[in-house]
């Protein structure tokens, strides 16, 4: 389906797009967001499995970069609402869409950290 609908996008692009759509549609309240993530969980897991299967042998760095990208998408969307950012990150961890290693990698990534600090301080 992905090859027919969006042939120019990679798995990571489609996954980021799906997460962005869930965030956008679920921004009304935390319950809406959680419901959308629950509904799209199978599709997101299938995309992650496809990304895992697309490299032989599996490359942990590629999967980690995919998780970092998901965290960055969430951080960008909720850059002005730290509480929702944390709740959404917790939800991604609970659904096992992002591992704790991916979360830590995003946190210590210099570019992500600088962007996040700049957005919070108004610089």
- pLDDT, one tens digit per residue, over 11-41 is 888 888 899 999 999 999 999 999 999 999 9
CA distance 108 to 114: 10
Question: Does residue 34 lie in a domain region?
Answer: yes
Residue 14: inside a domain = yes
- Calculate the CA dihedral of residues 88, 3, 55, 69 and round it to 10 degrees: -20
Tell me whether residue 122 is in a domain: no
Q: Is residue 123 part of a domain?
A: no
Total structural domains in the chain? 1
Domain range for residue 95?
Answer: 2-117
Between 69 and 9, the more confident residue is 69
> Per residue in 68-115, pLDDT tens?
889 999 999 999 999 999 999 999 999 999 999 988 888 887 565 666
Cβ neighbour number for residue 123 with a 10 Å cutoff = 7
């Amino acid at each position: 389906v992905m090859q027919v609908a969006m042939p120019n996008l990679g798995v990571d692009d489609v996954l980021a797009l799906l997460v962005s759509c869930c965030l956008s549609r679920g921004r009304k309240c935390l319950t809406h967001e959680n419901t959308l993530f629950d509904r799209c969980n199978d599709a997101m897991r299938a995309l992650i499995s496809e990304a895992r299967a697309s490299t032989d042998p599996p490359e942990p760095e590629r999967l980690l970069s995919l998780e970092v990208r998901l965290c960055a998408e969430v951080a960008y969307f909720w850059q002005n609402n730290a509480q929702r950012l944390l709740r959404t990150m917790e939800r991604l961890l609970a659904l096992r869409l992002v591992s704790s290693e991916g979360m830590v990698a995003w946190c210590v990534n210099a570019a992500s950290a600088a962007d996040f600090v700049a957005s919070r301080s108004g610089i």
